[in-house]
């Protein structure tokens, strides 16, 4: 089965290389096309194609904001940021939490609806893992007043993000559904794709495989998208640690056990938005 997946993934990577306009990304794809990292490209392509096909049946505009919801972490390797948006079908990939920072379902709702703004960020200690550092010291210094645009990062190196599927018992998707019922649904141009696989499968996938698969799916779609990642970015390095100063310069970095939540003001904004829609 693994051999079949690797064999099928080659044509997809070939299509990506043929349609990529960035020579540095083309070279990166060629160099890494034989690596095991791309073994799940075919599976991810079919998973995303099913979601996009369903969304295209709806009355949507051609420009979409797609939120990919998953569990996430960062490992001990780095990749060029622009390799996360290899084709022009993805206009940008946007990250919301600083590097090494965890997040909550409330933030997921804010990302998917576009309601969360930089001023809504609240940082605190994740109390349930024995951390003794006060909440106030978990807020990163020199925090940018904008989100982390990987298009703007260009060829700068960023941590390799790994994503894994949601599970029924973690309650993440259930919480999102509850919040949409309470505070209002997504708008016409907003799409959320929860990474949920049958049979409680939990294997991790590099996020660059997700964005490559999605960019290929969008080639045969009328949609062009900005991709928003709703996932934790906690560090799970088994080897050499990241250069914290570099990641602070690239965007921001938090100490271990930091959690980013959303302030109540975000939900006030949701109420105002919902009122405008129906009045």
Residue 120 structural domain: 47-278
* Mean of pLDDT values over 152-159: 96
Regarding beta strands 157-164 and 205-206, do their DSSP bridges make them parallel or antiparallel, or are they unpaired?
antiparallel
Residue 36 belongs to some domain of the structure: no
Residue 29 placed within a domain:
no
For residue 232, the Cα-to-chain-centroid distance in whole angstroms is 9
pLDDT tens for residues 11-48?
A: 899 999 999 999 999 999 999 988 888 989 999 999 99
pLDDT at 237: 63
Determine the average pLDDT of the residues in 3-16: 71
Residue 252 has φ and ψ, to the nearest 5°, of -170, 160
pLDDT band at 151 (very low <50, low <70, confident <90, very high): very high
Structural domain includes residue 266: yes
CB atoms within 10 A of CB 130: 7
CA separation for the pair 35, 204 (Å, rounded): 15
199-208, 245-254, 270-279: the lowest-pLDDT one: 270-279
Total number of domains constituting the chain: 1
Neighbours of 256 (CB within 10 A): 15
167 found inside a domain: yes
Question: Is residue 24 one of the residues assigned to a domain?
Answer: no
Other CB atoms within a 10 A radius of the CB of residue 186 amount to 15
Answer whether residue 257 is part of any domain.
Answer: yes
Taking the C-alpha atoms of residue 122 and residue 120, their distance in angstroms, rounded to an integer, is: 6
Is 121 inside a domain boundary?
Answer: yes
pLDDT number for residue 241: 76
Confidence (pLDDT) at 3: 43
Does 191 have pLDDT greater than 80?
A: yes
Per-residue pLDDT averaged across 254-265, rounded? 94
* 27 in any annotated domain: no
pLDDT in tens, 86-145: 999 999 999 999 999 999 999 999 999 999 999 999 999 987 666 778 888 899 988 999
- Which residues make beta-bridge pairs with 158? 79
Angular region, 42: left φ>0, alpha ψ -120 to 50, beta rest: alpha
Q: pLDDT exceeding 90 applies to what percent of the chain?
A: 72
Residue 7 CA to residue 1 CA, distance in Å, equals: 10
- Rounded CA-CA distance 252/41 in Å is 30
CA distance 107 to 175: 11
Instruction: Tell me what percent of the residues of the chain surpass a pLDDT of 70.
Output: 91
In this predicted model, which residue has the larger pLDDT, 171 or 240?
171
pLDDT of amino acid 2: 46
């Amino acid at each position: 089965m693994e051999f079949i997946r690797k064999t099928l993934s080659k044509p997809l990577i070939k299509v990506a290389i043929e349609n990529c306009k960035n020579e540095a990304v083309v070279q990166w794809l060629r160099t890494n096309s034989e690596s095991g990292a791309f073994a799940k490209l075919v599976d991810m392509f079919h998973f995303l194609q099913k979601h996009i096909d369903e969304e295209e049946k709806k009355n949507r505009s051609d420009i979409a904001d797609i939120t990919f919801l998953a569990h996430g972490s960062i490992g001990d390797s780095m990749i060029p940021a622009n390799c996360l948006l290899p084709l022009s079908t993805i206009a940008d990939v946007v990250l919301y939490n600083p590097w090494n920072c965890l997040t909550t379902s409330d933030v997921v709702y804010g990302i998917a609806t576009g309601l969360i703004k930089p001023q809504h960020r609240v940082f605190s200690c994740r109390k349930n893992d024995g951390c003794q550092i006060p909440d106030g010291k978990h807020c990163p210094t020199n925090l940018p007043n904008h989100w982390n645009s990987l298009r703007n990062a260009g060829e700068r190196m960023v941590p390799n993000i790994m994503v894994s599927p949601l599970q029924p018992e973690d309650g993440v998707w259930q919480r999102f559904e509850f919040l949409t019922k309470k505070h209002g649904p997504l708008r016409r141009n907003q799409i959320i794709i929860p990474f949920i696989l049958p049979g409680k499968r939990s294997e991790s996938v590099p996020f660059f495989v997700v964005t490559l698969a999605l960019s290929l799916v969008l080639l045969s779609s009328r949609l062009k998208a900005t991709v928003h990642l709703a996932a934790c970015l906690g560090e799970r390095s088994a080897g050499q640690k990241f250069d914290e100063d570099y990641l602070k310069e690239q965007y921001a970095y938090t100490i271990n056990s930091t959690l980013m939540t959303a302030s109540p003001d975000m939900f006030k904004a949701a109420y105002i938005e919902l009122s405008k829609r129906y009045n």
